[in-house]
Structure 1
């Protein structure tokens, strides 16, 4: 896929409202994709899309849709469970298989990590092959809030190494599991 610039807004941060956006669009609860020819607005989980492009016509559905599961649970989650249970020799691939879901999840997690690293106050450069940021130096630090106190109280901070913090967020050290 070609490179693209991705700007992540989260936690009350919203993109600037442009004049071509329809009235009533709540930028807190949408995904907004802005291209050189138009925009796509979707609900938070990709549903209820709206394409803002002159002359756009909705294409016919060619990708099989996964129906709601009768026992509850999300569509793609239950489709994934179904694929896990099927015999590997006759398995029908899940609609959200790892080939698709892995890179997509990486992109979403990078957006969340960028929010956590915003104290560096710069654009972060990601190396997907090495699974690390290219422009966080070994001596750089971040100030993290360590307590949530009542309004007016002193806020406590802790200084951490930014490179180590990012590395731990990317490849988390899990505790040893329970044993009996």
Structure 2
């Protein structure tokens, strides 16, 4: 069936692969958040919910609630690496809700967890942009086929978004090349 104008094809298997990838990216930074706020399990629960969806679980309200909870944890954390680690977790759970819209904004849903994970590395190293290169290389090398396939159907990442927006654009360009 042809797509409606302004939409892309987006299969359930692709959503699961993207959510699993996002969960892997976010998991790499959970310890940063947990050292800062050891009693706050919301980011870990968001990553676990994304994993459960990626393994075949249903896309439920609980999954969405865990994404929002991780973002609340980010707002409650001290600004810096811990907050970005929680944002990575929130983006991981939210990746299951990627929309089949042909919108550059959707790129953030595909790559948001990876970009925030890279930002955690920068911030943890004293805001050294070079520190993110290892995380970005890992994110590029571990991106499943669904990530590059879906990015290929979307416009390039949009401008703006501060440093995380820059990271998203860099990773988007690298995955498209």
TM-score normalised to structure 1 length: 0.26
More helix by share: 2
Higher relative contact order (CA 8 A, sep 6+): 2
Greater radius of gyration (CA): 1
TM-score normalised to structure 2 length: 0.26
More strand by share: 1
